[in-house]
Amino acid sequence: MLVAGCNAAPTNRPAATHVSTNSTMNFPFQLTEAEWRQRLTPEQYSILREANTERAFTGKYWNTKEPGVYRCAACGAVLFTSKDKFDSGCGWPSFSDLAAKGTVVERADNSHGMRRTEVLCAHCGSHLGHVFDDGPAPTGLRYCINSAAIDFGGETNTPANVKK
Ligand SMILES: [Zn+2]
């Protein structure tokens, strides 16, 4: 099997014009640009609200293996769990599935001369990363997510019935 980096994205998805985050969809959680800037660090703002990408192996979660849940750093919605996190070797936190159906929405992203599928928080529309179809079974998906776009909640956010 061909091992593709996070920027290599063979997909057959239809072409679409790149649009900036939040310009074409309505999300339940909305803030003004000034409020976002106040709420987020400059790095978080640049990724979550301007769809930038942190450099590989620089984020705080790419190698995290503790049990817990990962929330959207912008609005707090639970997006992923440690159960689906796997070591993709690409330098960003990678998940093979969502914490629950519909926690993210997808959108075609043809920026930077690549055809990729952008992943947005379904609650607030913030940019999280991209999803590729070279992940492990059974989903075959690899959600490649910026560390700065998520907040890891260990013990406090882990349900009591999850073994620590
Ligand atoms: Zn969110």
Query: What is the pTM for the complete model shown?
Result: 0.81
Q: What is the pLDDT of residues 50-103, one digit of tens each?
A: 999 999 999 999 999 999 999 999 999 999 999 999 999 999 999 999 999 999
| 33-156 CATH | 2.170.150.20
Protein residues with C-beta less than 5 angstroms from the ion ligand 1 = 72, 74-75, 77, 121, 123-124, 126
Q: How confident is the model at residue 121 (pLDDT cuts 50, 70, 90)?
A: very high
Q: How far is the CA of 71 from the centre of ligand 1 (A)?
A: 8
Instruction: Quote the tokens at residue 90.
Output: 């690409």
In the chain, where the domains are located: 33-156
* Spatial contact of 15 and 108, defined as CB atoms under 8 Å apart: yes
Distance CA 107, CA 14 (A): 11
Q: How far is the CA of 128 from the centre of ligand 1 (A)?
A: 9
Q: What is the pLDDT of residues 10-21, one digit of tens each?
A: 444 444 444 445
